[in-house]
A and B are shown apart, each in its own frame.
Chain A
Amino acid sequence: MIEAVGMRPALFEQIERAEAASRRWFRAKFALVWVVIMAALFAAFAATDNLDADFVTEWSPYILGGAGITVLVSVLSIALATVLALIGAIGRLSRRAVPYGVASFYVSLVRGTPLLVQIYIIFFSLPQISPLLILPAIAGGVLALGFNYGAYMTEIFRAGIQAVPRGQTEAARALGMPENLIFRRIVLPQAIRIVTPAIGNDFISMIKDSALVSTIGVQEVLWRAENAGRPTLHTLEAFIIAGLVYWGLTIVFSFVQERLEKRMARGDR
Chain B
Amino acid sequence: MKPMRTSALLFTGLLVLITACQPSGQASGDPDDLLAAIQAAGVIRVATDPAYPPQSELLSDGTYQGFDIDVAERIGEELGVTVEYITPDFSEVVAGGWAGRWDISVGSVTVTAEREGVLDFTGAYYYTPAQMAATTASGITTLDGLAGMTICVGEQTTYQFWLEGTLELVGSPEPTAVPEGAQVTTFSTDTECADAIASGRTDFEGWLTSSTTLANAIANDAAFVSVGDPVFYEALAVATDKAGPAHAGLQAELDRIIAEMHSDGSLTALSEQWFDGLDLTTVE
A residues neighboring B (CB under 8 Å): 58-59, 61-62, 65, 80, 83-84, 86-87, 90-91, 93-96, 99, 127-128, 131, 134-136, 139, 143, 178-180, 182-184, 188, 217, 219, 227-228, 230-233, 235-236
Q: Which of B2, B88, B192 touches A230 (beta carbons < 8 Å)?
A: B192
B165 within 8 A of A: no
Q: What is the interface of chain A mostly: helix, strand, loop, or mixed?
A: helix
* Pairwise interchain contact B57-A233, C-beta atoms closer than 8 A: no
* Pairwise interchain contact A58-B60, C-beta atoms closer than 8 A: yes
B219 within 8 A of A: no
Q: Which of A59, A90, A182, A188 touches B60 (beta carbons < 8 Å)?
A: A59
Note all chain A residues with C-beta closer than 8 A to B1.
Answer: 94-96, 179
A178 and B2 in contact, given A59-B60, A231-B51 (Cβ under 8 angstroms): yes
User: B164-197: contact bitstring with A at CB < 8 Å (1 yes, 0 no)?
Assistant: 0000000000000000000000000101101100
Q: Which of A134, A230, A231 touches B100 (beta carbons < 8 Å)?
A: A134
* Pairwise interchain contact A230-B195, C-beta atoms closer than 8 A: yes
* Pairwise interchain contact B7-A87, C-beta atoms closer than 8 A: yes
Nearest B residue to A86 by beta-carbon distance? B10
B residues neighboring A (CB under 8 Å): 1-7, 10-11, 13-14, 18, 21, 23, 50-53, 57-58, 60-62, 86-88, 97, 99-101, 189, 191-192, 194-195, 198-199, 220-222
* Pairwise interchain contact B99-A87, C-beta atoms closer than 8 A: no
Bound form: Cα–Cα A143–B21 in Å? 12
Min CB distance A172 to B, Å, is: 12
* Pairwise interchain contact B86-A217, C-beta atoms closer than 8 A: yes
Nearest B residue to A233 by beta-carbon distance? B198
Min CB distance A215 to B, Å, is: 9
Note all chain A residues with C-beta closer than 8 A to B2.
Answer: 178-180, 182-183
Q: With contacts defined as CB atoms under 8 Å apart, how many contacts are there between chain A and chain B in the complex?
A: 92
Note all chain B residues with C-beta closer than 8 A to A83.
Answer: 10, 13-14
**Top 4 A-B pairs, shortest CB-CB distance:** A179-B2, A180-B2, A127-B99, A231-B51
Note all chain A residues with C-beta closer than 8 A to B88.
Answer: 217
Min CB distance B176 to A, Å, is: 29
Bound form: Cα–Cα A80–B50 in Å? 31
* Pairwise interchain contact A217-B87, C-beta atoms closer than 8 A: yes
Q: Which of B7, B14, B23, B58 touches A90 (beta carbons < 8 Å)?
A: B7
Note all chain B residues with C-beta closer than 8 A to A233.
Answer: 194-195, 198, 220-222
A230 and B5 in contact, given A83-B14, A136-B23 (Cβ under 8 angstroms): no
Bound form: Cα–Cα A228–B59 in Å? 8
16 residue pairs from A and B, CB less than 8 Å apart: A90-B3, A90-B6, A90-B7, A91-B7, A96-B1, A128-B97, A139-B21, A139-B23, A143-B18, A179-B2, A180-B2, A182-B2, A183-B2, A227-B50, A232-B220, A236-B199
Q: Which of A96, A99, A231 touches B191 (beta carbons < 8 Å)?
A: A231
